[in-house]
Structure 1
Amino acid sequence: MELGRTNYEKARKLGIKTVNQYKSNGWNAHVPSLDAILSRESIVSEVNLGLTEIPIKKIKGTRTNARRNAFAPDFMPILGPSTEFAAKWVYLYEAHVEEGIREPIKVYEYLNWYYVEEGNKRVSVLSYSEAILISAYVTRLIPRYDKEDKTIVIYYEFLEFYKNHQINYLWFTEVGSFVKMHKIIEKYDWHQEEKKGDLRSIYYQFKTLYKKLGGDQIPITTGDAFLQYLDVYPYREGIVEVLEENLKSLWAELEIIGSSNKYERELSPSELEKKPLFFGLTNLPFAMKEAKIAFLHAKSKDSSAWTYGHEIGRLHLENVMGDSVTTTCINNVPEDEQAYDYLKAAAEEDYDIIFTTSPTFIHETLKASLAYEQVKFLNCSESLSYRHFRTYFGRIFEPNFLVGMIAGAMSKTNQLGYVVTYPIPEVISSINAYALGARFLNPFAEVFVKWVDDTTASCEDACYKIDEQLMDMGVDIICHQESTDLKTSLNHSGIYFADELRKGQKPICLASPHWHWGVFYEKIVRNIMSGNYNKISGLLGNNERAISYWWGMDAGVVDIMYSESKLPEPLINSVTFMKKMITDGVYHPFTGPLYNQKKELMVETGTHISNEAILDMNWFVDGVNGSIPSINAKEQNHKLLELFSVKKKY
């Protein structure tokens, strides 16, 4: 028994050390008890999962208070060596060394953590022995659903995930992550019985290395880090051989995910970016006299209105900067892992700056920026940011508010239609701004939202039928959201008199939001070539921050276009006045009080919604009729939706 007693003392020392650390931080120095944190009223169901293997690291505490004082928070023993408890621990340890602990424990699972009802000492011995798994009879306690509680929303996603895959060792801290992991498992056939072990093996090798490199210091779960890794470095045979090298390259981005204070969103071109910080700064070595610039597009200008707009921006850049820049466009880049090959080729052709103009290229852009640090990469997207490259987008909801003003004022029936494609926050905020603008001048205005899939060949007919439905409802002004496909009826972006949208007619656009990508590209490229792009951040001590440009009408990158011949002069004057109010920062389109469709107050009077809430918007304001479809109601393998769709349980 000497071996057991010696190891009990070692385990006890570890336990006492942990207790002292917890006490010095003012934390509870014993394992938590489920009874102490759970009210029976909050549990809606108990499910017997039977016998299964559970990760020892996910055993959080005890079922009752009875034995919790015998253990440190990490289940190391802390009672004296002469106690009966110590003698039983020693016996169990000797048995484990000789033949292994085989008798399953009994646990309750709550929010994917386990609480021991029978077998606390077995857990302690195996934890000390650095075992990974333990057999357990598991009873799952399912809490009442609460859409306002993020942890419970994630847990319900986990329940669906577990039903499909019986995987309990992964946990994520963001809504939608279990959905994403489900798709990855399907992609690599890890749901097949003969391949389930592959995922477990890869994950635990990743986990071991992640912890070794200091993952415990980053406030995200190992699952969060693993998912981000697979986004950037898709699974390949031989992944283990490059795992450490890739993970080290990605490390700074994982720190960004876990650190809210290392993130910066620039709302307008700052004075620092407009001119050098010190006299003569542009003559320093990091300033550029010439730049070679590549634009990577998902489609071509002939097939996509979105690409066409960016191409106008590229040509503007050539026109205003002359011989100081050389640009090229690369069209029809696949919106999947193959995009990295195009980025790699451009980087190796010595391009100084590479713009990827679709949000779907976000992860491939990150991978390229990690591999080619001498190149400045920028991706056109609004809700994700990284340290190794920058993102850029416009506050398109601002001109949509003005377009809504015109629609509300010009409508005779007070019924407005809005035909839209993608259920992503950018679109939701634009619809809401449009509705608020309409009600700004016409408090009786109602907006009816209809969704159409612009990825299908029948989109034009579907759009026409939706227009007809809206007309039958009494709608007299219809807004078409801009489409990525020029061949669809959504090519008519902006607002129109409904009766002009009938087949065979050429409608006249009353007003539409407009992108000035050329202004964007000129400002960004001048900033890079002046040497201010990275230097300024470094001088101010924030070179570790992730930077995203999210500019608005005040920067000239988004605006409104309207028909002067169709609109009355007083209305034009009102729109011009409100545009100035918004650009001067005097008025915000999302100024409270704002209510959702259920008449619940979302924004208080005298305040306006935060930028982050706009970027994550997943609700409609009062006055909008319609619902936001889940991703399953749209194209299943549409990367834009998978990345940015409003998060709902699949």
Structure 2
Amino acid sequence: MYKSYRTQARTEYEKANRIAKRDFLLSISRGEEGYLQALEDIIQNVEIAKEQNLGIIDIPIERIKGTYYHSRAMSFSSNFYPLMKIDTEFASKWMSLYEIHYKEGISDPIVAYEYLNWFYVVEGNKRVSILKYLNAFSIRGEVKRLIPKWDENDPQIRIYYEFLDFYDKTKINIIWFNKEGKFNELYELIKDYQKRSDFVENKYDELISSVYLPFRKAYRDLAKDRLKLPEEEAFIEYIKRFGLDNVPEIEREMRRQVEILIEELSEEKVKPVTPLFKIPGLLAGTPLKVAFIYNTAIEESAWTYSHELGRRYVQERLKGEIITKCYEKVTNAKIYEQVMEELEKEKFDLIFTTSFDFLYEQQLSAFHNVKFMYFSGYKSPEDINTYFGRMYEPRFLAGMVAGAMTKSNNLGYVASYGIPEVIMGINAFALGARSVNSRARVHVGWTNTWHNSEYERRTAEYLIKDLGVDVITHHQDSAEVLKVGEKYSVYTIGYHYDMREHAPTTYLTSVVWNWGVYYESIIRDVLRGSNFSLFRLFSGSEKIEKFWGGLKSGVVDLAPMSKLVLPQIKNIVELVKYDIKTEEFHPFRGPIFDREGNLRVPEGEDLNDEELIKMDWFVDNIYYS
């Protein structure tokens, strides 16, 4: 019998491990954390006003978001499934716990912290992993709540304090809203609920089990892609529509009500969209008002600094024809909303944002006199245009340099998030390296952050000291990786601008942005009313444009190669660069296989823009940990 239990546990672990790896890749391809979130990282710079002991409570499995310790986060994918190999001690313990659960169930409470109504495990990560895998509803846990300091300028904090009041009255923690006022609205609707059973002590426990959970199940089954309204908000609409006095006990009756609700909500008319751009003002000779929004301070970010140089460049080049203004440190939705209100009031015409941080903020719909241009082209909701650069072109050339210069055949790449923009660059770099060196392998280290000097430094050191890379590059918002490469005497390749000053003895080249060229090209076409595709949008066209510029446009480029690069290498790189600019060659020309051996690009064919912008796979000479 022991053998059969153990065999079953091993089989389930292998299944969970496969799902974990798939989830990891899917998460990073969306720009999300591949590993579990770690609370000690999240609250590193948060001022905690109070720590509250909640005792032993039922924790909804869906509300368990991560672990407390950063060191333990690496053992699980973001869905809490196990990432460690089957022959590890970790896997053995996971399987032993699975056997225990199979025989008698997991009853020992975990230890966890609650922060913003998400739970982070201190003790019991493997127990949670197993119950997540088995789709359990809840687990008992000894919980301490960390309450952040009140901040009236932070909408998330305001919502959380509203939740605390709601929780004190109801002890409900399974429901969460992302809008202010909703917890108060729900409480007013449920406060007079009369429980039906004398065996239930807390009427809100019965409300959740007998009303909310059946509603949620039906709503998830029936709404799907038909309605984007969050299920908690839909629950409020359900109560308003049908009341709580006569909630049906039969599941099919509940489903019928939910179907009616979905149909009614789906029939609500969409308000007509006001034209987005005011052509008459432009044609009358009024200066074009252009704003630039930065999510960091100019001096703190190489990325932001490169855009600021572009703004200054275009302001000088188009003096008298445009007025520009920049906003620094737009770090949260509240500040973003304030900036938008100011731009609407001052009647700005064109906005360039250098990050997609607030791309999906609902406040956008309120600003109809502004045309938005968002950097990074993998997200394109309605009424938003995205601008992007074909950075994969110089990345391919940089890969050629790296592949020719390496002696170990191990190249390092410190990467931020696994979004298409980053994946494109990694793949292009790897393909470029292999084009001159069939044995070249690219080892990727993920930081899951755009700018954290400590993470960048530690990741670069890991690639150099543990994996033996002798050429290193990055997709990060600082020059920290080059500084580490200089320290350990390995060749370095920069990003954003020519970074030779940070690695004077190991520098090879950099892949760079020339934003001034980009902005001037776009704005000149707007000013003269040419047939440039973006201009057509200003008349109210609903078509969404993705504006890309490559080596040919000068928007992206390879910085001058240092004296360390041999002349013959420079010559071949320049030849390939010319072929890319004249469209004789494409960096993603097949045959190209992914890491699983699947043919992604047939021989002789090129990936098109739509395929590139959604890239979520890695070529077969890439390794990551």
Q: TM-score, normalised by structure 1?
A: 0.52
State how far apart, in whole Å, the 1-side matches of 2:310 and 2:400 are.
28
Q: Judging changes above 3 Å, is the alpha-carbon distance between structure 1 residues 437 and 538 closer, same or farther for their aligned structure 2 residues?
A: closer
Does residue 248 (structure 1) correspond to residue 270 (structure 2)? The answer is: yes
State how far apart, in whole Å, the 2-side matches of 1:323 and 1:493 are.
45
1:7-50 alpha-carbon deviations (Å, 9 max, x no partner): xxxxxxxxxxxxxxxxxxxxxxxxxxxxxxxxxxxxxx9xxxxx
Tell me which of 323, 337, 342 is aligned to 1:326. Answer: 323
Q: Is the 8 A contact 2:413 2:442 kept in 1?
A: yes
State how far apart, in whole Å, the 1-side matches of 2:450 and 2:332 are.
14
Q: Is the 8 A contact 1:413 1:474 kept in 2?
A: yes
Does residue 563 (structure 1) correspond to residue 557 (structure 2)? The answer is: no
Q: Judging changes above 3 Å, is the alpha-carbon distance between structure 1 residues 589 and 375 closer, same or farther for their aligned structure 2 residues?
A: same
State how far apart, in whole Å, the 1-side matches of 2:270 and 2:581 are.
43
Does residue 221 (structure 1) correspond to residue 218 (structure 2)? The answer is: no
Tell me which of 618, 621, 627 is aligned to 2:619. Answer: 621
1:163-196 alpha-carbon deviations (Å, 9 max, x no partner): 669xxxxxxxxxxxxxxxx999475698996789
Q: Is the 8 A contact 1:203 1:226 kept in 2?
A: no
Does residue 581 (structure 1) correspond to residue 579 (structure 2)? The answer is: yes
Three-state SS of the structure 1 residue aligned to 2:318 is: helix
Partner of residue 304, structure 1: 301
Which AA in structure 2 matches 1:222?
A: R
1:455-508 alpha-carbon deviations (Å, 9 max, x no partner): 686x4366246425424433211112232xx4x71476999984368xx97554
Partner of residue 11, structure 2: none
State how far apart, in whole Å, the 2-side matches of 1:202 and 1:286 are.
53
Partner of residue 65, structure 1: none
1:228-258 alpha-carbon deviations (Å, 9 max, x no partner): 9x9xxxx9xx9x9xx99996248899xxxxx
Q: Is the 8 A contact 1:419 1:481 kept in 2?
A: yes
State how far apart, in whole Å, the 1-side matches of 2:353 and 2:554 are.
21
State how far apart, in whole Å, the 2-side matches of 1:535 and 1:495 are.
43
Partner of residue 427, structure 1: 422
Partner of residue 361, structure 1: 358
Distance apart, 1:589 and its partner CA: 0.7
State how far apart, in whole Å, the 2-side matches of 1:400 and 1:522 are.
24
Aligned CA RMSD, in angstroms, stands at 4.7
Partner of residue 499, structure 1: 490
State how far apart, in whole Å, the 2-side matches of 1:356 and 1:200 are.
43
Does residue 512 (structure 1) correspond to residue 516 (structure 2)? The answer is: no
Distance apart, 1:534 and its partner CA: 7.8
Partner of residue 475, structure 2: 481
Distance apart, 1:354 and its partner CA: 1.6
Q: Is the 8 A contact 1:404 1:435 kept in 2?
A: yes
Partner of residue 604, structure 2: 606
Does residue 375 (structure 1) correspond to residue 375 (structure 2)? The answer is: no
State how far apart, in whole Å, the 1-side matches of 2:308 and 2:408 are.
39
Q: Is the 8 A contact 2:348 2:369 kept in 1?
A: no
Distance apart, 1:553 and its partner CA: 1.6
Partner of residue 108, structure 1: none
State how far apart, in whole Å, the 2-side matches of 1:413 and 1:226 are.
53
Distance apart, 1:608 and its partner CA: 1.9
Which AA in structure 1 matches 2:439?
A: F
Report % sequence identity: 30
Three-state SS of the structure 2 residue aligned to 1:382 is: coil
1:239-288 alpha-carbon deviations (Å, 9 max, x no partner): x9xx99996248899xxxxxxxxxxxxxxxxxxxxxxxxxxxx9997464
Partner of residue 77, structure 2: none
State how far apart, in whole Å, the 2-side matches of 1:575 and 1:494 are.
23
State how far apart, in whole Å, the 2-side matches of 1:581 and 1:309 are.
27
Which AA in structure 1 matches 2:424?
A: S
What is the aligned residue count? 397
Partner of residue 460, structure 1: 454
State how far apart, in whole Å, the 1-side matches of 2:596 and 2:421 are.
21
Which AA in structure 2 matches 1:323?
A: G
Distance apart, 1:452 and its partner CA: 2.3
1:406-450 alpha-carbon deviations (Å, 9 max, x no partner): 000111221111111212111111111101000111111111111
Q: Is the 8 A contact 2:274 2:368 kept in 1?
A: no
Tell me which of 394, 397, 402 is aligned to 1:399. Answer: 394
Q: TM-score, normalised by structure 2?
A: 0.54
Q: Is the 8 A contact 1:288 1:531 kept in 2?
A: no
Distance apart, 1:371 and its partner CA: 2.5
State how far apart, in whole Å, the 2-side matches of 1:478 and 1:305 are.
18
Which AA in structure 2 matches 1:336?
A: A
State how far apart, in whole Å, the 2-side matches of 1:405 and 1:329 are.
37
Q: Is the 8 A contact 1:296 1:355 kept in 2?
A: yes
Q: Is the 8 A contact 1:293 1:325 kept in 2?
A: yes
Q: Judging changes above 3 Å, is the alpha-carbon distance between structure 1 residues 470 and 325 closer, same or farther for their aligned structure 2 residues?
A: same
Alignment of 1:86-485 (within 5 A): 185=176, 187=178, 221-223=225-227, 225-226=228-229, 248-249=270-271, 286=283, 288-336=285-333, 338-364=335-361, 367-368=363-364, 370-454=365-449, 459-460=453-454, 463-464=457-458, 466-483=460-477
Which AA in structure 2 matches 1:332?
A: K
State how far apart, in whole Å, the 2-side matches of 1:425 and 1:378 are.
18
